[in-house]
Amino acid sequence: MKSSIDQVMDDLDMHDIENNHLDEENHQFGYTDSEFLHNEENQSETQDMNDIGNDHYDEENHQFRYGDSEILDNDGNQLEIQVQSDNVAAQYGSCKQFIGADGSLFWIPEVEPGWIPTLGSIFKDIKDAIKWYKGYALRSGFDIRKSTERKKSGITTSKYFICNRGGLPNTSTLDTISDDHNKQLRNSNCKRTNCKAFVAFKAIPHSSEVYLWRFEQQHNHKLINQDCMHLSRAKRQLNVVDQAFIVQRCDKKRLNALFWADDTSKQNFELFGDVVSFDATYRTNKYCMVFVPFTGIDNHKRCVTFGAGLLCREDTNSYIWLLRSFLKCFGKAPIMVVTDQDPAMKKAIEIVFPYTKHRFCMWHITSKLPLKVSWETMNESDFKADFNSIVWDSKIDVNEFEMR
């Protein structure tokens, strides 16, 4: 039976480590093991570079090529990283500058002692190792991305992760106006400097654990300071917990539909979302879009807002998109929905909320009375009193309602 590391690292099966190198009692490598790692690294360095692949590594210049990897964005769960201190913001981007033998400058991050990488460090699986390196990069002031993986007999045996600024910049010219090419340009505001910082993990055979195999901490560029760390690519993401902002655009890049709900709206829906009313009778003047507020009533009989939408058309497809966005945001459908008598809206509710009770708004019903009843009857006080006593009676059944 395959272990969990097989699923994470494409059926990982390692052959390069012998069991006598691992101290199972202390779950770490000893001094002799460090020698083993060093010797293995020297003996197989040429082979490792060949395993990276010609499209990933330039053996002649000993550097990574542009476009060899993809950005490793954070999963929106950065707070799940196990840290030794909750207040780590002050450590972001702290580094020391050095001058190399050739006169070039390089920078080494300064992080908390518990985050300093150590060859031979063991992680429970590859996901835990990646999470650790993300945490290290976050505290050091740089982004990371997946690079290459080493394979043996078609099976992945190691994985490399490099600094986001590693590799050579793309110097090829591409006429983006010409229709002759079909290559899509990759948008990036990161300037590659051929940074050599990287880390490599290997797996321990017959186990889901991996260990830190190779590591380079020197960067040939300045690291991001704490004031700018939130602008890094890994951190520059929409927080869907605080708000759900779902936008749909048409082919001409114009706003076609929009739904919005903040954290307060989500809390209101959780408490008072059994009955939801939404009305599409409002229309903005400037953009001629339909404004659709989702509202309810709290326990003080006050109106509360669950969300709002903007639609360019009042058709069934637009309402289906809006209701699906509502469902995606809140995770559940209301028990009852109150709307006007729009047939497109009625059909959309039947499709998206098949188990929700749909009722028409009383205001829209009573507003059509002049079209159904004569003017003289409408002005009779007895008629109004009798009518209101029937329609506003929440305990009346269907048969009694029809009879009266």
- Which residue type does 38 have? H
Could you tell me the pLDDT band of residue 320, with boundaries at 50, 70 and 90? very high
Q: Which residues contact 307 (CB under 8 A, 6 or more apart)?
A: 244, 259, 260, 261, 265, 269, 293, 294, 326, 329
Nearest CA to 334 out of 268, 391, 258, 247 is that of 268
Count of CB atoms situated within 10 Å of the CB of 224: 21
Q: Which residues contact 313 (CB under 8 A, 6 or more apart)?
A: 290
What are the φ and ψ backbone dihedral angles of 351, each rounded to 5 degrees?
Answer: -80, -45
- Domains, the chain, ordered by start: 4-231 (no CATH), 243-367 (3.30.420)
Q: CB-hemisphere CA count at 13 Å for 289?
A: 17
More confident: 211 or 67:
211
CA geometry: angle at 65 spanning 61 and 66, to 5°?
150
pLDDT tens-digit map of 327-381: 999 999 999 999 888 888 899 999 999 999 998 888 777 777 777 777 777 777 7
The whole-angstrom separation of Cα 65 and Cα 343 is: 58
Please tell me the predicted confidence (pLDDT) of residue 96: 79
pLDDT tens-digit map of 98-124: 887 888 888 888 888 888 888 988 898
135: which 2 tokens? 């945490």
User: Taking a C-beta distance cutoff of 8 angstroms, is the pair 259, 306 a contact?
Assistant: no
State pTM to two decimals. Answer: 0.42
User: Taking a C-beta distance cutoff of 8 angstroms, is the pair 132, 114 a contact?
Assistant: no
Please tell me the predicted confidence (pLDDT) of residue 174: 55
Count of CB atoms situated within 10 Å of the CB of 323: 24
pLDDT tens-digit map of 278-289: 887 666 556 778
Q: Is the pLDDT of residue 298 over 60?
A: yes
Report for 56-65, 110-119, 186-195, 346-355: range of highest mean pLDDT: 346-355
Mean pLDDT, the chain, rounded, equals 71
Could you tell me the pLDDT band of residue 247, with boundaries at 50, 70 and 90? low
The rounded Cα 176 to chain-centroid distance in angstroms is 30
Helix, strand or coil for residue 329? helix
